[in-house]
Structure 1
Amino acid sequence: MTSIGIVGAGIAGLHLSLLLTQRGVSVTLYAERTPEDQLAGKLSSVVTRFGPTREREQALGVNYWDEPDFGAFCFYVNVLGEYPLAFRGDLSQPAQVVDMRLYHAKLLEDLLDRGVDVVYGSLIADDLTILADSHDLVVVASGRGSLTEIFPKVEEHSPFTEPQRHLFGGLFNGVSYPEPLGVTFAIMPGHGEMSTIPIRSFKGRQSALFCEAAPGGDFEIFATMRYEDDPKAFETLLLEQIKQHAPPIYERINPEEFGLTRPQDLIQGAVTPVVRRGYAQLPSGKWVLALGDAHALNDPCIAQGANAASHAAEVVADAIVDHAIYDEAFCQAVEQQVWVNLGAATAWTNANMMPPPEFTGQLFVAATQSQAVANAVADNFADPQRGWRVMSSADEMSAFLAELGWQPEPAPEHEPEPAVA
């Protein structure tokens, strides 16, 4: 029987393990932390899972958090600054946000219940040669430590050498839900982007606040400010900045109740986006695949990372089942197949890290005038190939808007100014 070793128990490694197990392939999952460790840990991410990922979970039998009345049914988009505008885009398939500590722990327990061999502990790159001797193929699905060093950086897809945003967020009391239930975005020129998100966590239905702080903006300090030194000062200053720069977010906050739920429910950090080769050869001559963050580490600004990783896991699972020899040709073919979706997600994400081309403003204007456009803009987040195509050029955007029946509103006619004698 084919034996696959999977290093890393994030969404990429978990989904690949489940997909292969479902198809009768022998899997050993190498996880850094136990389910108990996951549940006791700090919040590390706020992940929005879109329709295709949720369909995959349903097919795998791990859709444990499905609730018909709770999720992200729409996006409320607010562009602030000199030319403000706002619209609501409804999702054709509701998205969902679950605390990833609960998610990772539950899926890991599920794999154990299905008889998957799980080995706990930290690994380094040198360990991969040993693992490869025990498996027909090893897949590295972890972006941690030295494991990624064996996969060369792809310069043409890695335009940044430092983080483009400073990240912070967490679970907060005193933040109400909009109706209908959805994610509220505030785009704050010069300061970054902030969102409020309905999330299922340890206390049931809670609210997450997440900010992509622009370097030099007023929210940058919160990515490094030590919350534990003075929690009240942290929360007071944050509330002041939200009131000043993100009124649509502030409207959802009760100042008397506002505050972090627990110290371990705070995220702070930054990401330097990078794309690596999707495979590498070990000194022994065997080949290993990269998956998830090991292949491409993207900023979370448009919520593509986990969804792209889940999609890639399915591509890899299909390839493993369909082939018996895992050589360089196999790895090259898999990389190309994965990159169709991952490449679009990466290019789109990277574009959002840079000043937008002038033509992109037309999309948001159109969304304020047409509900069909607003809904399509929301749905594009579940389809990065379409999302990136629309944002990649003025011609593509015009074609997208034309397909939806939108035409620019004619400029108002003005009476000629009277001549001055």
Structure 2
Amino acid sequence: MAGIGIVGAGISGLTLALRLQQLGVETTLYCERGAESIRTGRLPNTVARMGHTQERERELGSAHFRDPACLMNSATLSIKGDPPLEFTGYVSEPFHAVDFRLLLPAFMDDYAGRGGEIVPAATEPDAAQVDRWSRRHELMVVAAGRRSVAELFPRDPARSPYDRPQRRLAAGLYHGIDLPAAFSNNIAGGVGEIFRLPMMTREGVVSTLLVEAIPGGPLEPVTHMPWNEVSAALPGLIREYAPRLAEGLNPAEFGLLGPDDLLQGAITPTVRRPVAELPGGRIALAVGDAWIVNDPITGQGANLGSRCAWIAADAIAAGGPYDAAFAHATAERMWEAAAPVTDWTNAFLQPPPEHVARLLLAAATRQDLADLVVSLFADPAFAWSLLSSPEEVARVVDGGQKPLYDRV
């Protein structure tokens, strides 16, 4: 029996594989695409990894692409209005953004270079293929795969409040935005959000823009128009709905890097049931996007995937039997980390309640609160414990005191 089988070479699957390898657990990584195919493929996402995620990567000996130009020590939040509400906060550990077409192959090279086995799948794996692979292993962990995920892990309605996308998305890499190494969150009430951050890519450090369009609103057309029309349409929308961001546009140079550097679509936030019994008798445990897909509006997808993979790795390394009871217990441990992230992200898709609006208004006049708000993105459990409590927000805003849960 060849240890643990891992399906999917995204950040969750690779973090799990590298961590188990570090802990001396035999693994095999099954992936739909090899490293070279990922390197030359389409943009998969636009991700900022927070301090705790980077700390795990350092512990694994897999810290890559640490160019200062893609390390962000500050973030500016700008809410369109008359007058606009705006503040800049600072973080103790910079956010880090690297094109996953660079980062994931680097992780794969680390894993293979340390003796890990990578098995490319001939086709996108389905549940039957996962079952066939499972005969070599004590446990299967599924971190990716549209067909296998849909067949093995049904939607959990109790943890999935939305049955349709709350935003339509357009994420792309652009030349012609002259801004510093800082994160920018631009909000237009009732319209959507535009995020900008510097990212290390195949062409060096460029700007990534993520448009989060409320369906039916004026930003939505860029989420489904042809790629060669997006560069002409975006500047006018940015000037109208993200005027602070527009100050950094260079009209003569602005444009997408290329047709493979744009990702359009929509996500229905979904939590799936995390445990499946395979026909051959083995158990499959879901992690990462195979288990939870959150809207990227709070930037937590890759960070949560890394965190849950780490939790799963430590549980697996502690030993079996890797039966249904083990899988359910591990899933509950992961849910302790995932629940506040999911609740916060789902809440963020709606207009802010009064107490959160008060916190944002106060942050515009107090640097300590501006720093606090920006730091929430690095600690979502703390963020939800604060933002879900009108009493705690009032204590911080009115009393000038640090939060009870201050762990940033």
Q: Does 1:287 align with 2:289?
A: no
Distance 1:136 1:61 in 2: 27
Against the structure 1 CA distance between its residues 293 and 253, is the aligned structure 2 distance closer, same or farther, given a 3 Å change threshold?
same
Residue 396 (structure 1) shift:
3.0
- Distance in 1 (CA, whole Å) between partners of 2:293 and 2:392 is 27
Question: Is the CA contact (8 Å cut-off) linking 2:76 and 2:182 kept in structure 1?
Answer: yes
What does 1:367-406 correspond to in 2, within 5 Å?
A: 367-401=363-397, 405=401
1:157 to 156, 159, 162: 159
Cα deviation, 1:130-162, whole Å, max 9, x if unaligned, reads 122110110000152233331132112111111
Contact 1:141 1:292 survives alignment (8 Å): yes
For residues 210-289 of structure 1, the aligned pairs below 5 Å read: 210-227=210-227, 231=228, 233-289=229-285
The structural deviation recorded for 1:39 is: 1.1
Q: Please report how far the alpha carbon of residue 284 of structure 1 lies from its aligned counterpart in structure 2 after TM superposition.
A: 2.8
Aligned to 1:173: 175
- Cα deviation per residue 1:98-125 (whole Å; 9 max; x = unaligned)? 0011111111122111111111012101
The 2-side partners of 1:199 and 1:77 are apart by 19
Aligned counterpart, 1:209: 209
**Paired position in structure 1 for 2:78:** 78
Which residue number corresponds to residue 418 of structure 1?
none
Aligned to 2:334: 338
Give 1:234 shift. Answer: 3.0
Q: Of 323, 330, 355, which aligns to 1:327?
A: 323
Tell me, yes or no, if the aligned pair for 2:187 and 2:241 is still in contact at 8 Å. Answer: no
Q: Tell me the residue number matched to 1:110.
A: 110
Letter in 2 for 1:33: R
Matched, 1:6 2:6: yes
**Structure 2: distance between partners of 1:82 and 1:68:** 35
Q: Aligned AA for 2:386?
A: V
2:70–2:98 CA contact under 8 A, matched in 1: no
Counterparts of 1:30 and 1:406, CA distance in 2: 46
C-alpha distance in 2, partners of 1:68/1:244?
31
Q: CA RMSD in A?
A: 1.7
**Structure 2 equivalent of residue 301 of structure 1:** 297
Equivalent position amino acid for 2:369 in 1: V
Contact 1:273 1:298 in 2 (8 A): yes
Q: Write the distance in 1 (CA, Å) between the matches of 2:69 and 2:266.
A: 33
Deviation sequence 1:197-228 (CA, Å, 0-9, x none): 1100012111111110111211100111012x
Deviation string 1:358-411 (CA, Å, 9 cap, x unpaired) is 22101101211211111111111111111111121312322444675389xxxx
CA distance in 1, matches of 2:142, 2:395: 39
Contact persistence 1:6–1:139 (CA under 8 A): yes
Greater C-alpha Rg? 1
Aligned to 2:406: none
Q: Counterpart of 2:136 in 1: which secondary structure?
A: coil
Measure, in 2, the Cα distance between the counterparts of 1:290 and 1:20: 16
Does the CA-based 8 Å contact 1:73-1:91 persist in structure 2? Answer: yes
1:126 is paired with a residue whose SS is helix
- The aligned counterpart of 1:43 is 43
Equivalent AA in structure 2 for residue 354 of structure 1: Q
Q: Partners in 1 of 2:392 and 2:146 — Cα distance?
A: 37
Unaligned runs of 5+ in 1: 408-421
Q: Which residue of 2 aligns with 1:88?
A: 88
The Cα offsets for residues 316-347 of structure 1, whole Å up to 9 and x where unpaired, read as 01000112211122112111110111111111
The residue identity in structure 1 corresponding to 2:226 is R
Q: Distance in 1 between matches of 2:239 and 2:300?
A: 29
For 1:269 and 1:152, locate their aligned partners in 2 and report how far apart those are by CA, in whole Å. Answer: 22
Secondary structure at the counterpart of residue 43 of structure 1: coil
Deviation at 1:196, TM superposition (A): 1.3
Query: What is the TM-score when the length of structure 1 is the normalising length?
Result: 0.92
- C-alpha distance in structure 2 between counterparts of 1:140 and 1:389, whole Å: 30
1:216 match: secondary structure: coil
| Identical residues among aligned pairs (%) | 40
Q: 1:333 to 1:2 in 2, by over 3 A?
A: farther
| CA distance in 1 between partners of 2:234 and 2:214 (Å) | 15
Aligned to 1:31: 31
Distance apart, 1:263 and its partner CA: 1.3
**Matches of 2:145 and 2:83, distance apart in 1:** 39
Query: What are the superposed Cα offsets for residues 71-103 of structure 1, whole Å, 9 maximum, x if unpaired?
Result: 111110001135621000101110100001111
Q: How many residues align?
A: 401
Q: 1:335 aligns to what SS in structure 2?
A: helix
SS of structure 2 residue aligned to 1:48: coil
Using structure 2 for the length normalisation, give the TM-score: 0.95
Residue type matched to 1:129 in 2?
D
Amino acid of the structure 1 residue aligned with 2:368:
A
Are the equivalent residues in 2 in contact too, given 1:348–1:387 (CA < 8 A)?
A: yes
- Paired AA for residue 222 in structure 2: F
- CA, structure 1 residues 175+291, in 2 after alignment: closer, same or farther (shift >3 Å)? same
Which residue does the alignment assign to 2:358? Answer: 362
Partners of 1:306 and 1:4 in 2: how far apart? 22
Q: CA deviation at 1:70?
A: 4.0
Secondary structure at the counterpart of residue 217 of structure 2: coil
